[in-house]
Structure 1
Amino acid sequence: MDLNVTLVLIGVDIPRSGLLRSGYPDPRTGQWVFPDLKTGKSYNPSAATQTERRFDLVDLDPFDYDTAEGMTAFVAHLAGIEDRLRLFRARPGMLTEGAMPEYLFRRTRGIVGLLKRLVEDGCAEAIESGAEELTPDLLSTIRISLGNLTDRDPEAGEVPDIPEEDPGSPPKKPRRRGRNTVFDDHGAKAVDG
Structure 2
Amino acid sequence: MSDMQNLSIGTKEGWQRVVAAPPQKRPALLTMRKIQRMSGSELADYNKERRLWHGNMGVLRTLALEALHEQLWDTIGSNAQDGARAKGAVAIEGDSNLGKSTAVELFAKEFHQREILENGALTDYGHERHPVVRVTLSGNPTVRDLNGSLLHYFNHAGRLRGSAGDFARRALDVFLDCEVRLLIIDDLHFLRWESADGTKVSNQLKYLANDFPISMLLVGVGLTDLGLYKQGRTFGKAVLGPTARRTTRYALNPFGDKEPAQRREWRTVVKAIERKLVLPNHVDGTLARSLSDYLFDRSTGYMGSLISLITRGCARAVRTGAEGLTEGLLDQVRIDVAAETERRQTAKLLRDCYPG
Tell me: CA distance 1:11–1:129, structure 2 relative to 1, closer, same or farther (3 Å). farther
The one of 17, 21, 28 equivalent to 2:189 is: 17
The answer as to 2:194 corresponding to 1:2 is: no
Give me the whole-angstrom Cα distance separating, in 2, the residues matched to 1:45 and 1:16: 11
Report 1:79-98 matches (<5 A).
79-98=271-290
Higher relative contact order (CA 8 A, sep 6+): 2
TM-score, normalised to structure 1, is 0.54
SS in 2 for 1:137: helix
The one of 256, 265, 268 equivalent to 1:64 is: 256
The one-letter amino acid of 1:129's match is T
Give me the whole-angstrom Cα distance separating, in 1, the residues matched to 2:251 and 2:330: 29
Whether the 8 Å CA contact 2:297–2:343 is kept in 1: the answer is no
Give me the whole-angstrom Cα distance separating, in 2, the residues matched to 1:123 and 1:41: 43
1:118 Cα shift?
0.5
The one of 46, 51, 71 equivalent to 2:206 is: 46
Give me the whole-angstrom Cα distance separating, in 2, the residues matched to 1:124 and 1:57: 38
The one-letter amino acid of 1:141's match is Q
Tell me: CA distance 1:43–1:134, structure 2 relative to 1, closer, same or farther (3 Å). closer
Give me the whole-angstrom Cα distance separating, in 2, the residues matched to 1:55 and 1:41: 17
SS in 2 for 1:86: coil
Report 1:92-131 matches (<5 A).
92-98=284-290, 100-131=291-322
Give me the whole-angstrom Cα distance separating, in 1, the residues matched to 2:255 and 2:280: 29
1:18 Cα shift?
5.4
1:121-140 Cα distance to aligned partner (Å, 9 max, x none): 00000001111111100000
The one-letter amino acid of 1:84's match is K
SS in 2 for 1:58: strand
Give me the whole-angstrom Cα distance separating, in 1, the residues matched to 2:289 and 2:205: 55
The answer as to 2:325 corresponding to 1:134 is: yes
The one-letter amino acid of 1:104's match is L
1:89 Cα shift?
1.8
1:86 Cα shift?
1.0
Tell me: CA distance 1:62–1:45, structure 2 relative to 1, closer, same or farther (3 Å). closer
1:111-163 Cα distance to aligned partner (Å, 9 max, x none): 101001111100000001111111100000111146xxxxxxxxxxxxx5543
The one-letter amino acid of 2:80's match is D
Where does residue 75 of structure 2 map in the other structure?
none
Give me the whole-angstrom Cα distance separating, in 2, the residues matched to 1:116 and 1:137: 18
Q: Report which of the two has the higher share of strand.
A: 2
1:5-34 Cα distance to aligned partner (Å, 9 max, x none): xxx997754898156x7xxxxxxxxxxxxx
SS in 2 for 1:96: helix
The one-letter amino acid of 1:59's match is A
Whether the 8 Å CA contact 2:305–2:339 is kept in 1: the answer is no
Give me the whole-angstrom Cα distance separating, in 1, the residues matched to 2:296 and 2:259: 13
Whether the 8 Å CA contact 2:299–2:339 is kept in 1: the answer is no
- Identity across aligned pairs (percent)? 28
Give me the whole-angstrom Cα distance separating, in 1, the residues matched to 2:261 and 2:311: 26
Give me the whole-angstrom Cα distance separating, in 1, the residues matched to 2:308 and 2:93: 16
User: Which runs of no fewer than 5 residues in structure 2 stay unpaired?
Assistant: 1-78, 82-89, 96-185, 194-198, 211-215, 219-242, 348-356
Where does residue 46 of structure 2 map in the other structure?
none
Tell me: CA distance 1:2–1:66, structure 2 relative to 1, closer, same or farther (3 Å). same
Query: What is the root-mean-square deviation of aligned Cα atoms in Å?
Result: 4.0
Give me the whole-angstrom Cα distance separating, in 2, the residues matched to 1:118 and 1:2: 42
SS in 2 for 1:90: coil
Give me the whole-angstrom Cα distance separating, in 2, the residues matched to 1:113 and 1:139: 16
Give me the whole-angstrom Cα distance separating, in 1, the residues matched to 2:205 and 2:308: 41
The one-letter amino acid of 1:103's match is Y
Whether the 8 Å CA contact 2:91–2:250 is kept in 1: the answer is no
User: How many residues of Structure 1 are paired with residues of Structure 2 in the alignment?
Assistant: 134
SS in 1 for 2:256: coil
